[in-house]
Every structure is written in C-alpha cells, then in structure tokens.
C-alpha cells in the first residue's frame, strides 16, 4: 500500500514538472527560436494550467508571444478545440 502511494506521488510530481517546464512565456522560446506548430498544440493543451500558473508567476502566459505565426496559431486553436470537447460535435450518438 505504501509503495503504491509512493509510485503515485512520484508520477504526479514528474507530471507536474513535465507540464510546467514548457509553459508559454517561461523563457524557452525567443526571437531566434520561436514556438512552432507542435508547441502551439502543447500550449493549447496546457492552457488551463497556464492560466492558473499565470496568477502566481506574471511571466507565464497562455499564449507564447515568440511564435512562428499562423502555424503556431493553428496548432494552438486545434488543441483548444479538441481538448475541450469540440470534436464531440462531429460524433454520432450510438442510439441513432
């Protein structure tokens, strides 16, 4: 039982570190290395967490200002829509 709690604790701690290490505005991206399509997807998926973390750290934002433009926007928007159930609009009910 204690081993299970320890494993869960390590998994949760590692997950938190992994999620927060690539937040928008954290200094990972700059003008020479802007965020691209895949970082846009990642930032879209973690947007709710970024919003909460931004309350405690003013450098953390929901959206990376150093990005490649349209491709970053597309990845970000795609992750926001799919991450919050937008794709469920296209699913059929099994009852029909």
Can you tell me the distance from the alpha carbon of 26 to that of 35, in angstroms, rounded to the nearest whole number? 12
Is the C-alpha dihedral spanning 36, 63, 49, 25 positive or negative? positive
In the predicted model, what is the mean pLDDT of residues 13-36?
A: 80
Of the chain, the percentage scoring pLDDT greater than 70 comes to 82
pTM for this model (two decimals): 0.69
Q: What is the mean pLDDT of residues 75-82?
A: 90
Three-class DSSP category at 96: coil
pLDDT band at 21 (very low <50, low <70, confident <90, very high): confident
pLDDT value, residue 16: 77
For the chain, what are the domain ranges?
2-90
Question: How far is the C-alpha of 25 from the C-alpha of 39, rounded, in Å?
Answer: 12
Residue whose pair of structure tokens reads 């290395």 in the numeric block: 33
* 46-56 average pLDDT score: 87
- Which pLDDT value is given to residue 37? 94
CB atoms within 10 A of CB 77: 14
């Amino acid at each position: 039982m204690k081993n299970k709690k320890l494993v869960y604790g390590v998994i949760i701690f590692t997950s938190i570190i992994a999620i927060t290490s690539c937040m928008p505005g954290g200094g990972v991206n700059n003008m020479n290395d802007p965020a691209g399509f895949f970082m846009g997807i990642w930032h879209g998926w973690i947007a709710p967490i970024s919003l909460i973390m931004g309350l405690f750290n003013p450098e953390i934002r929901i959206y990376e200002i150093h990005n490649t433009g349209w491709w970053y926007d597309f990845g970000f928007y795609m992750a926001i829509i799919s991450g919050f159930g937008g794709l469920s609009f296209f699913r059929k009910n099994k009852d029909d």
